[in-house]
Amino acid sequence: VIDAKSGVSGAGKAATARTHFCSVDSDLVPYGVGSHRHTPEIELGLSPRRPSLTFVPHLAPLQRGISETIYVRLEVLPTAGDLRALYRDFYAGEPFIEVCEAPPELKDVAGTNVCRIFPHVDERAGRVVLVSAIDNLMKGASGQALQNANVMLGLPETEGLV
């Protein structure tokens, strides 16, 4: 299950009453429940076998940012230390991924190309919980494009981004 909260800038290019900031102020609106257009690409990105998942984004009264809480059931639950070590090892050397000791806040990634991830083991419920935060106007758009262009041109990945 992926439960995502997105600011109005992440709700598409078209200006609608729903994406007008005054309309979403003091509200939280789920959309694309069971049919969001990004669900197939998320499933494919997870595994070529395309595991089934539920993705429910919510439009939040925020200018920018995406905060996601992801719930995963595993056959064998890792220890909290092993899970954090797995994430730290996997993302070691990645300049724009930070593995955190506490859930990340959107204000901490605003204006950056950084994705912060908090891996957590919920032993009581028997699942892994991942919390992530990005600035969708940077990491989700222009920053990601510049990062990819840097890689394609053989430049340092961080050129123009730090």
Alpha helices in 16-161, H assignment, sequence order: 21-24, 39-46, 80-90, 143-152
- pLDDT digit string (tens) for 52-70? 889 999 999 988 999 999 9
- pLDDT digit string (tens) for 9-68? 765 556 666 655 666 678 888 888 888 888 888 888 887 777 788 999 999 998 899 999
Q: Convert 116-148 to b/e letters by CB count within 10 Å (16 or more is b).
A: bbbbbbeeeeebbbbbbbbbbbbbbeebbebbe
Which is it for the CA torsion 80, 86, 88, 94, positive or negative?
negative
- pLDDT digit string (tens) for 82-110? 999 999 999 999 999 999 999 999 999 99
> How high is the pLDDT of residue 79?
96
> How high is the pLDDT of residue 51?
77
Task: Please state which CATH number belongs to domain 2-135.
Answer: 3.30.360.10
Question: The tokens of 122 are what?
Answer: 């919920």
pTM reported for the whole predicted model = 0.87
8 A C-beta contact, residue 67 and residue 5: yes
